[in-house]
Copies of this chain bind each other. A is one copy, B any other.
Amino acid sequence: MADNSRKAALPPLRIALAGLGTVGTGVIRLLEANGAMVAARAGRDMRIVAVSARERSRDRGIDLSRYDWHDDMTEMPAREDVDAVVELVGGSDGPALTLARRTLGAGKSLVTANKAMVAHHGLDLAELAAQNGAALKFEAAVAGGIPVVKGLREGAAANAIEQIYGILNGTSNFILSAMEDTGADFDEMLASAQERGFAEADPTFDIEGVDAAHKLAILAAIAFGCRIDFASVETQGISRVRAADIRQAATLGFAIRLIGMADTEEQEGMTKLLQRVRPCLVPKDHPLAAVDGPTNAVVTEGNFSGRLLFQGAGAGDGPTASAVVADLIDLARGEAGGETSAPFSVPVADLKAMPPADPSGRKGRTYLRFTVYDRPGVLAEITAAMRDAEVSIESLIQEGRSDDGSEVLVAMVTHEGPEGCVTKAIELLADAEGLTAPPLVMPILQA
Contact = CB atoms under 8 A, between A and B. Distances in A.
Interface of A: 1-5, 7-8, 26, 30, 33-34, 37-38, 40-43, 107, 130-133, 139, 145-147, 150-151, 154-160, 225, 285, 287, 290, 297, 302-313, 316, 318-319, 321-326, 328-330, 333-342, 345-347, 349-350
B158 A322 contact: yes
Contacts of A34: 158-160, 303-304
Contact of A311 (B5, B157, B308): B308
Contacts of A323: 158, 305
Contacts of A8: 347
A417 B54 CA distance: 52
Nearest to A344: B41
Nearest to A321: B304
Contacts of A335: 154, 330, 335-339
A322 B147 contact: no
CB-CB nearest 10 A-B residue pairs: A147-B155, A334-B337, A333-B338, A158-B325, A2-B133, A305-B322, A4-B341, A309-B311, A145-B305, A304-B318
Contact of A313 (B154, B305, B312): B305
Nearest to A37: B160
Contacts of A341: 4-5, 7, 43
A291 to B, nearest CB: 9
Contacts of A347: 5, 7-8, 43
A145 B308 contact: yes
Contacts of A37: 160, 225
A329 B155 CA distance: 9
Contacts of A287: 287, 290, 311
Contact of A150 (B150, B316, B336): B150
A318 B305 contact: yes
Nearest to A306: B313
A312 B151 CA distance: 12
B307 A310 contact: no
Nearest to A6: B341
A30 to B, nearest CB: 5
Nearest to A2: B133
A385 B160 CA distance: 59
Contacts of A285: 290
15 contacts: A3-B133, A5-B349, A7-B347, A43-B342, A145-B308, A147-B156, A147-B308, A150-B150, A154-B326, A157-B325, A285-B290, A305-B313, A309-B312, A334-B338, A335-B338
B225 A40 contact: yes
Nearest to A337: B334
Contact of A40 (B3, B33, B322, B346): B346
Given A3-B130, A145-B305, A309-B311, 16 more contacts: A2-B133, A5-B349, A26-B304, A41-B338, A42-B157, A43-B338, A151-B151, A154-B329, A158-B324, A158-B325, A159-B322, A285-B290, A304-B319, A304-B321, A306-B313, A306-B319
A227 to B, nearest CB: 14
A12 to B, nearest CB: 15
- Looking at A139, A305, A306, which has the most chain B CB atoms within 10 Å of its CB? A305
A156 B330 CA distance: 11
A204 B321 CA distance: 43
B304 A145 contact: yes
Contacts of A160: 33-34, 37
